[in-house]
Amino acid sequence: MCVSLHQVPVVEGKEPPCFIRLFDGHMIIHAGKRDEPSSRRWRLYILRNELPLEAYLWEIPAECRNLRSRASFVLVDCEKSALYIWHGAKSSFQTKQRMLDIADWITKR
């Protein structure tokens, strides 16, 4: 039996659901480069997607102008190892619940 393997490019921010599902709903996309130490105190992540196996966190600049009323966010204080959740006023119940689940998963790690 011959098996052929194919590589498919995946563009950051446009990941297909089948790719995200590989991480069981625990994918986090960090900003910056792997070998570059981060000196930032604050890191802000927005929740993308709502389905449990297709949701992931995406790091965005920690600035007030990036907050959205229909989204949920995690703000990480790297100095104090603290995690804060912020829900926009129009954030859906599913979004809020998924963010709480992910935050719980992060704190247990």
Task: Enumerate the domain spans of the chain.
Answer: 39-108
pLDDT digits (tens, 9 = 90+) for 50-101: 788 888 899 999 999 999 999 999 999 989 989 999 999 999 999 999 999 9
| Whole-prediction pTM | 0.83
**What local confidence, expressed as pLDDT, does residue 58 receive?**
93
Q: What's the one-letter identity of residue 23?
A: F
As a CATH number, domain 39-108 is 3.40.20.10
